[in-house]
Amino acid sequence: MAVTIKDVALRARVSIASVSRALHGTGIVTEKTRLRVERAARQLRYTPHGVARSLITRRTNTIGVLLPDIYGEYFSELIRGIDRAARLRGLHLLVTSSHGDATEASLALRSMSGRVDGVLVMSPYVDAQLLGNALPAALPTVLLNTPDDTARAPAFMIDDYGGAKAMVEHLRGLGYGNIAHITGPEGNYESAERLRGFRAALGPLRAAKALVLPGAFTEESGYLAGRQLALVTPRPDAVFAANDVMAIGCLFALTEAGIRVPEDIALAGFDDIPIARFVTPPLTTVRAQTTELGRQALEELARAIEAPDTVSCMKRTLGTQLVVRASCGGAARSARRGTD
Amino acid sequence: MAVTIKDVALRARVSIASVSRALHGTGIVTEKTRLRVERAARQLRYTPHGVARSLITRRTNTIGVLLPDIYGEYFSELIRGIDRAARLRGLHLLVTSSHGDATEASLALRSMSGRVDGVLVMSPYVDAQLLGNALPAALPTVLLNTPDDTARAPAFMIDDYGGAKAMVEHLRGLGYGNIAHITGPEGNYESAERLRGFRAALGPLRAAKALVLPGAFTEESGYLAGRQLALVTPRPDAVFAANDVMAIGCLFALTEAGIRVPEDIALAGFDDIPIARFVTPPLTTVRAQTTELGRQALEELARAIEAPDTVSCMKRTLGTQLVVRASCGGAARSARRGTD
DNA sequence: AGCTGACTGGAAAACGTTTTCTTCTAAGAA
DNA sequence: TTCTTAGAAGAAAACGTTTTCCAGTCAGCT
């Protein structure tokens, strides 16, 4: 049986109220009793029961994080940003991931309810509609890269559309005329946005003719797309993968097929995961501020929790940055290390 | 204000006890009242308050996960394994990471106490000693890759020593005589074990002469080590990096310096992260069953929570597997794709 | 010396559940 | 009709805290 505040009170010969006051530092307590309580607590190895405390204070100091799937460096970066910010504020993180469909997401959210002070939802498949009735109305929520920007909650997004558009414009500026695209998974919001940016940069005519290969944000899918690409005639002179890991998978397939990057075909990715600059050739990509996204989202959530009455529906789109390395030839043809 | 069981009881015109019974499915309730309660709950959008429930049931259905740092694919894989197993058992995950030193780790553990049914600790810097007095004695604990195998808790480890030894023996078998090593961070248990395996495979004489470069399990540190390596004369004919991301960073530095892998120097890593097979040349490495490690650890913890009286100190070392790809030349010289 | 006031510490309520114990109702048998 | 009994529902305790309210004590001032 765990040691409770009662045991401490008994040993220190004071009331449980005094124990609480002495340990929590609040309230007025004599130096003498404080010392006595502290000694008793130490001897008994007392740690307050978080659950009981939460019940009375109505604060769990925990925020729920709902992620689509923990996979690859992208999510590592995201969680890093969230975790750091949370730690700074003394918040715990109740993480759940890999929810495939809306039902699972909804279930996960419900099971969190009453255990968290707020939730951070990254759910590229789920719209706010569903969220609305999975969550108790009053629970502070912040959305991450959600498809639905009409949601009645703050939302933080990466500028997928703008980033993709800028990249493809960059490629066109370098003289590439036949640009292919490897998409993310079907139905994924970010995937769709990047595709939309790709098409916008090409213009309707070229977009209609452009080769679009289906991918799934995994190395494997990028590799398979690369293999297809190697067989296509006429071969595109550039390929823009919807994320870095697919670009790397694709790069491998191309290299394997004897197609040189960037001499025979230019290659670009999206995200700027740490490893992108360490492949050969270093990957030209779009830097998404993934860690920053996580940090800002958590900060906003913390703010919403502090001031529950001020309902904010603020939408914030984090800009991206073109990171030009060697994989697209052009200005950065030499294999310099992209410290940017 | 959130809707409580009282509100439901009021609306359904029954006692709160009946509401609890009706919703929880336990106890005997008339079909009629069950229906009435369910309807009221639905209309009010009632979700039970997890904290209050935990207080009385003495179960949080949450397990705490203490990780050293969430970085790169390795931890993605680990969390994946833990998360999947947890979800299967209906357990929540309270994740905390990035604790630099023992004090921080201890603090993190204390702040979890009373909120979790058990903890999963991966702490390559912290020994069980410290754990002992950070945790309430009775809290079920499972250790992951801990330095201290005398701990009074079950522990799961990757066979870092054996894996490294096997790899270096493989390299020697291929005829490489001057093998360098890039280590993990100072003071890290896994890092030390892999170094020990490296030395054991070489034997004391060669080990004394072998080039050992300090790394930090990051791409950057591997890259820097690779740059140093490129300047060393006589150049080693093989290099074994203590993990894959360092190997990839190193690979880039070597390529950049015009040193070919595997023709001029062989390269091997450790972990077999998903991307390892998609670099050029595909990386020979030691497959660590990271996901499986997480899964098994969680299963054992769940078992310990179910049966709190049966104290187990079981140690389990998960075997590794040599994954031979092209980066070390030899048998797999041709750039085949290692589906293994 | 007595009174006032400040300050400390204790008793008890409250948080939202689950669960035990008790009570009540209704049905069936005598 | 009345008694017995089973089954359903309600009352209340319990979980471990925090915090409010109140009582008691001691010191200082008149």
pLDDT of A172 reads 96
Interchain CB distance below 8 Å, A84 and B62: no
Question: Distance between CA atoms of A204 and A221, rounded to whole angstroms?
Answer: 27
Return the C-alpha torsion angle A140, A144, A146, A151, nearest 10.
30
Contacts of B83 in chain A (CB under 8 A): 70, 95-98
For chain B, residues with pLDDT lower than 70 are 1, 70, 98-101, 125-137, 148-151, 330-340
Question: Distance between CA atoms of B243 and B249, rounded to whole angstroms?
Answer: 10
pLDDT per position as a tens digit, B31-46: 888 999 999 999 998 9
Return the C-alpha torsion angle A298, A300, A305, A306, nearest 10.
120
Contacts of B89 in chain A (CB under 8 A): none
Closest Cβ–Cβ partner in A84, A133, A335 for B98:
A84
- β-sheet bridge partners, residue B92: B62
pLDDT of B2 reads 80
CB atoms within 10 A of CB A118: 21
Question: Distance between CA atoms of B86 and A186, rounded to whole angstroms?
Answer: 27
Give the CA-to-C1' distance from B75 to D29 in angstroms.
Answer: 70
Query: In the numeric block, which tokens belong to residue A205?
Result: 């005519």
pLDDT of A340 reads 38
Cα–Cα nearest to B176, from B336, B329, B335: B329
Cα–Cα nearest to B33, from B21, B51, B45, B24: B21
Nearest protein residue, CA measured to C1' of D19 = A17
pLDDT of B135 reads 67
pLDDT of B76 reads 83
Asked if B128 and B98 touch (Cβ cutoff 8 Å), the reply is no
Question: Distance between CA atoms of B288 and B276, rounded to whole angstroms?
Answer: 12
For chain A, residues with pLDDT lower than 70 are 1, 27, 70, 98-101, 125-137, 148-151, 330-340
pLDDT of B131 reads 66
Nucleotide nearest to A31 (CA to C1'): C8
pLDDT of B75 reads 84
Question: Distance between CA atoms of A201 and A107, rounded to whole angstroms?
Answer: 39
Question: Distance between CA atoms of B269 and B174, rounded to whole angstroms?
Answer: 16
Count contacts between A and B (CB, < 8 Å): 186
Chain C nucleotides with an atom closer than 7 Å to a protein C-beta: 7-12, 14-20
pLDDT of B214 reads 97
The alpha-carbon gap from B281 to the nearest alpha carbon of chain A, in Å, equals 9
Q: What is the largest CA-CA distance in chain A?
A: 87
pLDDT of B69 reads 74
Query: DSSP character for B150?
Result: T
pLDDT of B31 reads 87
Contacts of B327 in chain A (CB under 8 A): none
